[in-house]
Amino acid sequence: MTIEGRREEHRPGRIRLGMVGGGKGAFIGAVHRIASRIDDQFELVAGALSSDPDRAKASALEIGLAADRAYGSYEEMAKAEALRPDGIEAVSIVTPNHMHAPVARAFLEAGIHVICDKPMTTTVTDAQDLVDLVGRTGAIFCLTHNYTGYPMVRQARAMVVAGELGAIRVVQAEYPQDWLTTRAELAGSKQAEWRTDPQRSGAGGSIGDLGTHAYNLAAFVTGLETDQLLAQLSTFVAGRQLDDDVQILLRYKGGARGMLWASQVAVGNENGLKFRVYGTDAGLEWSQADPNYLWFTRFGEPKQLLTRGGAAVRPEAGRVTRVPSGHPEGYLEGFATIYAEAARAIRAAREGRKPDSEVLYPTVEDGLAGMQFIDAAVRSSANGNVWTKVA
Amino acid sequence: MTIEGRREEHRPGRIRLGMVGGGKGAFIGAVHRIASRIDDQFELVAGALSSDPDRAKASALEIGLAADRAYGSYEEMAKAEALRPDGIEAVSIVTPNHMHAPVARAFLEAGIHVICDKPMTTTVTDAQDLVDLVGRTGAIFCLTHNYTGYPMVRQARAMVVAGELGAIRVVQAEYPQDWLTTRAELAGSKQAEWRTDPQRSGAGGSIGDLGTHAYNLAAFVTGLETDQLLAQLSTFVAGRQLDDDVQILLRYKGGARGMLWASQVAVGNENGLKFRVYGTDAGLEWSQADPNYLWFTRFGEPKQLLTRGGAAVRPEAGRVTRVPSGHPEGYLEGFATIYAEAARAIRAAREGRKPDSEVLYPTVEDGLAGMQFIDAAVRSSANGNVWTKVA
Amino acid sequence: MTIEGRREEHRPGRIRLGMVGGGKGAFIGAVHRIASRIDDQFELVAGALSSDPDRAKASALEIGLAADRAYGSYEEMAKAEALRPDGIEAVSIVTPNHMHAPVARAFLEAGIHVICDKPMTTTVTDAQDLVDLVGRTGAIFCLTHNYTGYPMVRQARAMVVAGELGAIRVVQAEYPQDWLTTRAELAGSKQAEWRTDPQRSGAGGSIGDLGTHAYNLAAFVTGLETDQLLAQLSTFVAGRQLDDDVQILLRYKGGARGMLWASQVAVGNENGLKFRVYGTDAGLEWSQADPNYLWFTRFGEPKQLLTRGGAAVRPEAGRVTRVPSGHPEGYLEGFATIYAEAARAIRAAREGRKPDSEVLYPTVEDGLAGMQFIDAAVRSSANGNVWTKVA
Amino acid sequence: MTIEGRREEHRPGRIRLGMVGGGKGAFIGAVHRIASRIDDQFELVAGALSSDPDRAKASALEIGLAADRAYGSYEEMAKAEALRPDGIEAVSIVTPNHMHAPVARAFLEAGIHVICDKPMTTTVTDAQDLVDLVGRTGAIFCLTHNYTGYPMVRQARAMVVAGELGAIRVVQAEYPQDWLTTRAELAGSKQAEWRTDPQRSGAGGSIGDLGTHAYNLAAFVTGLETDQLLAQLSTFVAGRQLDDDVQILLRYKGGARGMLWASQVAVGNENGLKFRVYGTDAGLEWSQADPNYLWFTRFGEPKQLLTRGGAAVRPEAGRVTRVPSGHPEGYLEGFATIYAEAARAIRAAREGRKPDSEVLYPTVEDGLAGMQFIDAAVRSSANGNVWTKVA
């Protein structure tokens, strides 16, 4: 029941947190709030939970925020909180994609750290601007590519880093879902509405919502950089404006080759994020639906089923593990790990030092890379599915 | 992405919570604390976290409790908190088994609700006394048979109640682990020490630690009551005082038959709690290691893999579901549901009303049933593995 | 693509084979015929395929037997074949259970080797008589406990023999099916009719049809001998004469403990034969539905998924493997291995020598052990589910 | 235990079969021989089992062929057998790829039916010539795309035909292996030698050996025709002449999109042939390693695990099923089904009639389609991974 590298449980003095977006009817806001509570590192004290001021305030009161910190707009909130002695130290941005950049800018300029949902922006230019702004302000910017918080994803990365796979040859990444198989955006689903609307989502549909996760995860685990890609974006549901399926070939620098598939119309797939990585010496396979397992095979040896908290777990995975092996941790715990890592970085910033070297969270540069990926894929597809340089 | 019966997320006004046990080196205390935070219904404000006063106070400060509510003993804490206007409304008891009863008594008598780890006591007499005391005081007593908090366990129970299985014929329940395959209690594992010590665990080893969970779960899902059992307790590791494997036959009232196996020496099993239930019309199978799935087969039809939050989920499961299908929830979320249910009961008590009928948590009577099960099994085994009435 | 210990493919000079039972409407006869052909060691040349002479002859012609060797009764066949210079060397007995013993006696006394379906007889006395007769005649007697022919079952046994598990502590064996959930015997199923009829099946229903397989498999893999058992036989379907579910506790000689469950009413289970074996050093798990896999865990190490023909396969498994790893072998191949082993024994007998030491098939003594198991279980249950000596 | 559409077991009068290739050290020859025996429709009576005359004869005697039909060359065999009154009716061609075409021509011109391994030829021209020759002679030509013989593959196809998936949108096909992760062709593996040698394999490595299977299977199940493809062939193992990994995007006629991956260097994959097909109404998933299962999900309904011989099986699957559900059938049985279908076609030809409409086997046209696929992929890759018309 002991776990190598097991993390410290707690440190007093919670970080004061605000939230933009995530009011009534939203899905991801509640996820962020739970994630922020799990390790007891944050206290949510302020919010501008909707672009509609009345709805924003009502939502805030409903979740127990004080009336004077239930803001009607994010601009107001950034200004007011920056002036309070007990103002928020960090803000979570959980709006539709098109609002990420302006909100992030407002808080970064107010000297407040940012935890932001992905994809980071809707354009590469906006993404580059945020990179610059973060560089200038020195603030912590954490992008919630939450799947990198799963212990067995950390394990996979650590095994690659340790050389257990040898040189990587082939990467297979995929993220099929099926919830947009029919035209849900006309059937009253708020989620479906904005995620299929180019005004709010940006130029990518499934590629932005799902493809970036798969792409980021593959990069996180393998450390490979993409040279070129060739993308085939499809819109299968008539009348939809954005892609609901994307099929991509990848040429990584150094010679590795990859395939990436994301879909919102693959019937029978709920949330099928998966990666498979094959090197000269060994292979790894992981599936988000069963995140406590990692398949590992050394060439010529029996397959091993590595388990979270189990034998062979490396400290990089053990330190983000909360309960012993066999007691599954899930999506919220993985998400919470991103928050916990952000907290470690924010505490270090409080103390004017760098975070410990093992602290790991998706950065503003990862956000830029994601936008460059979407941009290259959209251009490749628009030009007839041709090879296109990334970045 | 909508879930039938989806629960309300939040209600302001957290319940003030204390904790007894769960200091440094403990495992389950941290689990309770996370579980209490996930749905934001409780605020931990006081603790007597160890039987050693110094350790108790240090542990309390470490997790951020105020110094004046970092108590050296549970007696002191019960007294002091009962007198405070902002005193705790509920206490979590996460000590070794032998302390559950005295601690619970102290807080119940102080008018404080109790959330208590299982098995409830170390003797049937103590368990009966607690039942009486809860009856007298009218307090909420919630036993953390946490596995009943998993959505797909709720789903299974709801399907049985709805008659989807017909009359139940056969129950297979099991809970194998392997962590006590060797004599860990001599190798410095605090967990192994008290769990194999009859002074602190009571008369049951694997049957108390694991068997009661499997037994409770089978009863929760099927609603069946046990008539008789026949148990074969074994101690495979030389020098150990309590059983580390137990094999049981069950005769349920009404004619159903069952088998129950629990083990601490089944190499390759991390936390293999599982139930399978077969009725005249259909069968169900569930495994704790993969808790988001429930196998369901109607006789003569294809097997169905029901998923948490997915198609065919009943409101009883939907209301304890936090994230959409395909994003796995785990052990901590299931545990948190028990806390959330206790919170609903406590809030109702605050308001002088009964909790809503759908609120479901393991009660003091379930605790008594667990002790009667252990007692009958130990007697059956001591008498040569013979049939023994339960209760 | 090479397999350690890979078997020789072929040797010319097929063994002349007859068959009793297995005419139109039978299930297992066709299985035996395919199994006898797979490795090209037998040529079916004679048959008495039904107890009804006309049906017997028609069935024989239909499968291509010569008219003069399409017999109306097994007695006639035994006599006639014994006299032919090209008479059969071996006979397959695939009748309902009550005919196994008389048919086997007739052919053994005619100097013909016997391949016989299980359970071997309907009484312990008959089984003992067959043991004696085989001893007197020196004939080969092969009982088709076909599941012992699966390569990964051979692998499991070889690992136990090699000491990889250490001393065995716990055995879990089960064989659930669901096809008799309703009263199929009244709905025109010939299979269901005789298998639920004590006149043709003997005193055991599910215990004879399924329980003996699980019992035999556990013994085959572990090498353990049973001291006592306690059985709870149930008949859940009203009006049925034999048990359709059986739950058993086992005390093995040497201190290991076991549980065995067989059922014909476990809805959702097609043919769920499974064993799990746990020793002081390691554990093994195997399921017949997925027979090309064997889970193996050394204590404190990651779980391994051993595959048929894959890494870590021992010669004992490799020699009964036909195709490389990843190309699944199934039920018929396992069955064929029993035939191939019998062929090796029969060829050795032809040449007046002992079969090679690695040749392994279930013997008449295994058949006796199976009958003693059924008998003890029926007595245990009849006496109120009490502990009963086996043999 | 009854299976809808269950096939007839047997019909007397075996078809006289010859074999070219498949002598000592070969792998696939033994597979063909077992497959030809399982359903008792063929009798192997002649062979030219090696290109080396001495080895050819010795191999033939070893497997029990008569000395006068143990030929030193296929030319000799074709001539001699055509003249015998009891000459072979069909020949199995199991040589390396480059010999398929000349051998097939020789036997077709001798009026003998052909069962031929895949890929059919090494060039599109040869493939077209065979198509023409088969057209002229009217002979049966059966290509052993054996995976189309699995019952659950037949089930998948039948479900698509019946419209259960609606219009197909996305196809995912893959066939990873790992046995060529290192340079096995230099380590004495005969299999590796010819499969990596362009002289004997043709222009495709992994694409010919594996890719064609995946491609054929996707076409078999979906009925879709390919318009264009874009292929990225890689040779990861230094010094190897042919591709050992291939990644392909597919544009089907009618708008469906596909991805296809085949690899010989994906460590941990033994024989991972798999297809996933998604339509407007439902999705299907099948994996060759576990061939008795087919996952089926109607949009908005629970996932179903369809099983071979189980509930919901269609007659198209039932008729090629030999044993009841839960008793797994494997690779050899699937292969045997191709032989059984060929036998039905050959018997029909004997009788001067067309085979029954349900008889289904891969034809010479399928062989041509496979060669066009390889050719297009090789050209696409050679031209810089560009979109290329197929055929």
Residue in C with minimal Cα distance to A305:
C303
Q: What is the average pLDDT value for chain B, to the nearest integer?
A: 95
Q: Does D328 touch chain C (CB under 8 A)?
A: yes
* Number of DSSP helices (H) and strands (E) in chain B, helices first: 13, 14
DSSP A7-31: PP---SSPEEEEEES--TT-SHHHH
* Domain annotation covers residue C9: no
C266 contacts C179 by C-beta, under 8 angstroms: no
In a shared domain, residues D373 and D230: yes
Question: Closest approach of chain D CAs to the CA of C192, in angstroms?
Answer: 9
Q: Which of A366-380, D12-26, D291-305 has the lowest mean pLDDT?
A: D12-26
Give residue for tokens 């805030």. Answer: A60
Average pLDDT of span D364-383: 97
All residues of chain B having their beta carbon less than 8 Å from the beta carbon of residue A11 are: 64
pLDDT band at D1 (very low <50, low <70, confident <90, very high): very low
In a shared domain, residues D207 and D259: yes
Each residue's pLDDT tens digit in chain B (391 positions)? 444 455 545 556 899 999 999 998 778 999 999 999 999 999 999 999 999 999 999 999 999 999 999 999 999 999 999 999 999 999 999 999 999 999 999 999 999 999 999 999 999 999 999 999 999 999 999 999 999 999 999 999 999 999 999 999 999 999 999 999 999 999 988 889 999 999 999 999 999 999 999 999 999 999 999 999 999 999 999 999 999 999 999 999 999 999 999 999 999 999 999 999 999 999 999 999 999 999 999 999 999 999 999 999 999 999 999 999 999 999 999 999 999 999 999 999 999 999 999 999 999 999 999 999 999 999 999 999 999 999 8
pLDDT band at C279 (very low <50, low <70, confident <90, very high): very high
* Domain annotation covers residue D91: yes
What is the SS3 assignment for C332-369?
A: HHHHHHHHHHHHHHHHHHHCCCCCCCCCCCCCHHHHHH
pLDDT at B6: 56
Other beta carbons within 10 angstroms of residue B391's beta carbon come to 13
Phi, psi of A141 (to 5 degrees): -125, 115
Q: Which amino acid appears at position B1 of this protein?
A: M
Residue ending a domain, among A94, A119, A146, is A146
- Residues whose CB is less than 8 angstroms from the CB of residue D257 and which lie 6 or more positions away in sequence, other chains included: A232, A234, A245, A247, D169, D170, D171, D249, D250, D251
DSSP C195-236: HT-HHHH-S-SHIIIIIHHHHHHHHHHH---EEEEEEEEE--
pLDDT at D243: 98
* Domain annotation covers residue B178: yes
Long-range CB pairs of B323-326 (<8 Å, 24+ gap) are B323/A31, B323/A330, B323/A331, B323/A332, B324/A27, B324/A270, B324/A271, B324/B1, B324/B3, B325/A270, B325/A271, B325/B3, B325/B292, B326/A177, B326/A269, B326/A270, B326/A271, B326/A272, B326/A288, B326/A289
How far apart, in whole angstroms, are the C-alpha atoms of residue D350 and residue D346? 6
How far apart, in whole angstroms, are the C-alpha atoms of residue D307 and residue D328? 10
* Domain annotation covers residue B284: yes
* Domain annotation covers residue C201: yes
Residue in B with minimal Cα distance to A328:
B330
Question: Closest approach of chain D CAs to the CA of A259, in angstroms?
Answer: 7
Question: Closest approach of chain A CAs to the CA of D313, in angstroms?
Answer: 19
pLDDT at D24: 82
DSSP B308-376: TTSTT--HHHHTT--S-TTS---HHHHHHHHHHHHHHHHHHHHTTSPPPTT-----HHHHHHHHHHHHH
- Nearest Cα to Cα of residue B327 among A177, A289, D300, D303: A289
Report the CATH number at residue D32: 3.40.50.720
pLDDT at A53: 97
Which residues between 21 and 80 in chain D have a beta carbon less than 8 angstroms from any beta carbon of chain C? 27, 30-31, 33-34, 37-40, 61-64
Average pLDDT of span D3-29: 77
Question: Closest approach of chain A CAs to the CA of B12, in angstroms?
Answer: 4
Q: Does D285 touch chain A (CB under 8 A)?
A: yes
**Best to test chain A binding among B7, B306, B327, B333 (most A CBs inside 10 Å):** B327
Q: Does A325 touch chain B (CB under 8 A)?
A: yes
Q: Is the pLDDT of residue D148 over 60?
A: yes
In three-state secondary structure terms, C181 is: coil
All residues of chain A having their beta carbon less than 8 Å from the beta carbon of residue D285 are: 268
In a shared domain, residues C112 and C93: yes
In a shared domain, residues D283 and D156: yes
Q: Does D128 touch chain C (CB under 8 A)?
A: no
Contact B312 D305 (CB under 8 A): no
Chains touching chain C through at least 3 C-beta pairs below 8 angstroms are A, B, D
Q: Does D13 touch chain C (CB under 8 A)?
A: yes
Residue in C with minimal Cα distance to D64:
C12
- Residues whose CB is less than 8 angstroms from the CB of residue C84 and which lie 6 or more positions away in sequence, other chains included: none
Other beta carbons within 10 angstroms of residue C230's beta carbon come to 25
How far apart, in whole angstroms, are the C-alpha atoms of residue B177 and residue B271? 5
pLDDT in tens, D234-291: 999 999 999 999 999 999 999 999 999 999 999 999 999 999 999 999 999 999 999 9
What is the SS3 assignment for D324-360?
A: CCCCCCCHHHHHHHHHHHHHHHHHHHHCCCCCCCCCC
All residues of chain A having their beta carbon less than 8 Å from the beta carbon of residue D259 are: 247, 259, 261
Residue in A with minimal Cα distance to B308:
A270
pLDDT band at C48 (very low <50, low <70, confident <90, very high): very high
* Domain annotation covers residue B389: no
pLDDT band at C25 (very low <50, low <70, confident <90, very high): confident
Contact C302 A301 (CB under 8 A): no
**Best to test chain C binding among B206, B267, B269, B284 (most C CBs inside 10 Å):** B267
In a shared domain, residues D311 and D237: yes
Residue ending a domain, among C146, C164, C182, is C146
In a shared domain, residues C107 and C215: no
For chain A, state the CA radius of gyration. 21
In the structure encoding, which two tokens stand for residue A137, read together? 């302000």
Contact C322 D34 (CB under 8 A): yes
Q: Does D263 touch chain A (CB under 8 A)?
A: yes
Q: Which of A12-16, C117-121, C285-289, C376-380 has the lowest mean pLDDT?
A: A12-16
How far apart, in whole angstroms, are the C-alpha atoms of residue D99 and residue B91? 81
- Closest partner residue to B249 among C178, C249, C384, by Cβ? C249
Q: Is the pLDDT of residue D39 over 90?
A: yes
Q: What is the average pLDDT value for chain D, to the nearest integer?
A: 95
pLDDT at B190: 86
Report the CATH number at residue B304: 3.30.360.10
Kindly report the pTM of this predicted structure.
0.96
- Closest partner residue to B311 among D300, D310, D312, by Cβ? D300
Each residue's pLDDT tens digit in chain A (391 positions)? 444 455 545 556 899 999 999 998 778 999 999 999 999 999 999 999 999 999 999 999 999 999 999 999 999 999 999 999 999 999 999 999 999 999 999 999 999 999 999 999 999 999 999 999 999 999 999 999 999 999 999 999 999 999 999 999 999 999 999 999 999 999 988 889 999 999 999 999 999 999 999 999 999 999 999 999 999 999 999 999 999 999 999 999 999 999 999 999 999 999 999 999 999 999 999 999 999 999 999 999 999 999 999 999 999 999 999 999 999 999 999 999 999 999 999 999 999 999 999 999 999 999 999 999 999 999 999 999 999 999 8
**Percent of chain C beyond pLDDT 70?**
97
pLDDT at B11: 57
According to DSSP, residue D245 is labeled E
Contact C267 B257 (CB under 8 A): no
How far apart, in whole angstroms, are the C-alpha atoms of residue D105 and residue A145? 59
Average pLDDT of span C361-377: 97
pLDDT at C2: 46
Contact B38 A40 (CB under 8 A): no
Residue in C with minimal Cα distance to B165:
C267
How far apart, in whole angstroms, are the C-alpha atoms of residue B149 and residue B115? 14
Q: Which amino acid appears at position A14 of this protein?
A: R
In a shared domain, residues C254 and C313: yes
How far apart, in whole angstroms, are the C-alpha atoms of residue C71 and residue C46? 8
Contact C302 A307 (CB under 8 A): yes
All residues of chain A having their beta carbon less than 8 Å from the beta carbon of residue C304 are: 302-305
All residues of chain D having their beta carbon less than 8 Å from the beta carbon of residue B300 are: 311
Chain centre to alpha carbon of residue D160: 21
All residues of chain C having their beta carbon less than 8 Å from the beta carbon of residue D27 are: 1, 324
Peptide bond into C291 cis (omega under 30): no
All residues of chain C having their beta carbon less than 8 Å from the beta carbon of residue A305 are: 302-305
Q: What is the count of residue pairs from A and B with beta carbons less than 8 Å apart? A: 143
- Closest partner residue to C328 among D307, D309, D328, by Cβ? D328
Range of the domain at C27: 15-146
Q: Is the pLDDT of residue C81 over 70?
A: yes
Residue ending a domain, among C146, C181, C197, is C146
* Domain annotation covers residue D49: yes
* Domain annotation covers residue A31: yes
Q: Is the pLDDT of residue C27 over 90?
A: no
Number of domains in chain A: 2
pLDDT in tens, D300-342: 999 999 999 999 999 999 999 999 999 999 999 999 999 999 9
Q: Which residues pair with B352 in a beta bridge?
A: none
In a shared domain, residues D248 and D378: yes
- Residues whose CB is less than 8 angstroms from the CB of residue B172 and which lie 6 or more positions away in sequence, other chains included: B258, B259, B274, B275, B276, B277, C261
Length of chain C: 391
In a shared domain, residues C62 and C105: yes
pLDDT at D132: 98
How far apart, in whole angstroms, are the C-alpha atoms of residue A240 and residue B108? 60
How far apart, in whole angstroms, are the C-alpha atoms of residue B211 and residue B204? 9
Chains touching chain D through at least 3 C-beta pairs below 8 angstroms are A, B, C
In a shared domain, residues C152 and C297: yes
Contact D230 A234 (CB under 8 A): no
Q: Which amino acid appears at position A265 of this protein?
A: V
In a shared domain, residues C48 and C142: yes
Contact D312 B302 (CB under 8 A): yes
Q: What is the count of residue pairs from A and C with beta carbons less than 8 Å apart? A: 32
Q: Which residues pair with A303 in a beta bridge?
A: C305
Contact B265 C298 (CB under 8 A): no
Average pLDDT of span C156-174: 98
- Nearest Cα to Cα of residue B371 among B155, B212, B177, B146: B212
All residues of chain A having their beta carbon less than 8 Å from the beta carbon of residue B291 are: 328
Give residue for tokens 């807080």. Answer: B107
Contact B259 C261 (CB under 8 A): yes
Contact C12 D307 (CB under 8 A): no
In a shared domain, residues A184 and A304: yes
How far apart, in whole angstroms, are the C-alpha atoms of residue A307 and residue B269? 11
